[in-house]
Chain A
Amino acid sequence: KNEVEQSPQNLTAQEGEFITINCSYSVGISALHWLQQHPGGGIVSLFMLSSGKKKHGRLIATINIQEKHSSLHITASHPRDSAVYICAAANNNDMRFGAGTRLTVKP
């Protein structure tokens, strides 16, 4: 079993839909990261969470430390949100990555 599990692996949505990507981890963490990998391959750090909830524009990330679970939500999804979203569990400098969720938003 992987230490960081993401679901779903692939997700196709229509423009405007509300998207949820889930991440469960089994390791101890100091922070949980959500990353976005563009179709061209570049990686952008979206959120770093150690508790609660963070919001940036249409993106919301939540974490439940007790349940070792985090979710990334995208409201009013848009085709430009199409990317791979990666969850990473960090314990100081040790970062373990999920396999990623490939999101495709159709117009």
Chain B
Amino acid sequence: NAGVMQNPRHLVRRRGQEARLRCSPMKGHSHVYWYRQLPEEGLKFMVYLQKENIIDESGMPKERFSAEFPKEGPSILRIQQVVRGDSAAYFCASSREADGGYTFGSGTRLTVV
């Protein structure tokens, strides 16, 4: 039973490009959460999704960032027109229920050059 799978592990993008980060939750988990960890800072909540629904996106920057969790396939965090300040580790977690135990992925480290 694979854990939460995130890919790619490392992603390098030039300023202005798009970054797509993928997260496949654990089998049986229908709740997905995205967090961002800026260099030398703690984790910050970005968005909470269930299948085909965004439940809470209060932590998402208003522009350039979007997230989806389609009926089939992984959850995608998309960052358009990346800037240097987007360089961070992006972690995904999943849970079976809304307030259940979380399982974290290994993260995607985005570097914008």
Contacts and interface: CB of A to CB of B under 8 A. Distances in A.
A76 interface: no
Interface residues of A, number: 22
Contact of B107 (A31, A41, A48, A93): A41
Contact of B103 (A45, A95, A96): A45
Contacts of A45: 93, 101-104
A95 B55 CA distance: 14
A10 B5 CA distance: 30
A58 to B, nearest CB: 20
A31 B99 contact: yes
Interface residues of B, number: 24
A90 B48 CA distance: 13
A98 B101 contact: no
B45 interface: yes
Contacts of B43: 86, 88, 97
Given A93-B56, A95-B33, A97-B43, A30 B99 contact: yes
Interface in B20-71: 31, 33, 35, 41-45, 48, 55-56
A42 interface: yes
B106 interface: yes
B52 to A, nearest CB: 16
A86 B91 CA distance: 14
Interface of A: 30-31, 33, 35, 41-45, 48, 86, 88, 90, 92-100
6 contacts: A41-B109, A42-B106, A44-B104, A45-B104, A93-B98, A97-B43
